[in-house]
């Protein structure tokens, strides 16, 4: 089964569960909007929405924005890797050597000590608030 047919199947099942099967035009619009999402994510999101009850005055068939929002939730909750994950990985970066790591840690510790020292020192007199008295 192709990606689009799996997504379409999920959308139709969602419509049946919510007692509002989408017409062909709606299906095409939804498929276009969901084209960048993997079919397994769309299926899980549609199943999740299908199981939920409807609020008063809520349309029977959810908006495409609602489905996309639930797709994002599925990705966050289950840690499913999408196509954007390759943007976050940098295979060309090599790990630090032991000496480089020690250098970075030493610099970090020194900056923390300097910050603490600045925080505990009294403010210079020229920074003191003006009380109007001389």
Residues 17-42 pLDDT 10s: 988 888 889 889 999 999 889 999 99
pLDDT tens digits, 78-129: 765 545 554 445 555 667 788 888 888 888 888 888 888 877 877 667 666 6
Q: Which residues contact 8 (CB under 8 A, 6 or more apart)?
A: 27, 31
Token pair in block for residue 84: 């954007």
Strands, E, within 68-114: which ranges? none
pLDDT tens digits, 35-89: 889 999 999 999 999 998 888 888 889 999 999 999 988 888 876 554 555 444 5
Nearest Cα neighbor of 13 from 3, 27, 1 is 27
Rounded to two decimals, what is the model's pTM? 0.56
- The confidence score (pLDDT) of residue 121 equals 77
């Amino acid at each position: 089964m192709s990606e689009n047919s799996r997504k379409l199947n999920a959308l139709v099942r969602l419509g049946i569960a919510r007692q509002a099967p989408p017409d062909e035009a709606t299906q095409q619009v939804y498929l276009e909007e969901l084209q960048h999402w993997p079919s397994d994510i769309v299926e899980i999101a549609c199943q999740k929405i299908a199981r939920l009850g409807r609020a008063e005055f809520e349309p029977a068939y959810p908006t495409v924005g609602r489905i996309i929002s639930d797709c994002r939730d599925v990705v966050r909750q289950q840690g499913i890797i999408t196509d954007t994950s390759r943007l976050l990985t940098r295979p060309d970066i090599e790990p630090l050597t032991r000496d480089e790591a020690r250098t970075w840690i030493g610099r970090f510790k020194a900056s923390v000590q300097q910050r603490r020292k600045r925080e505990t020192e009294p403010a210079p007199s020229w920074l003191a608030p003006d009380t109007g008295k001389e």
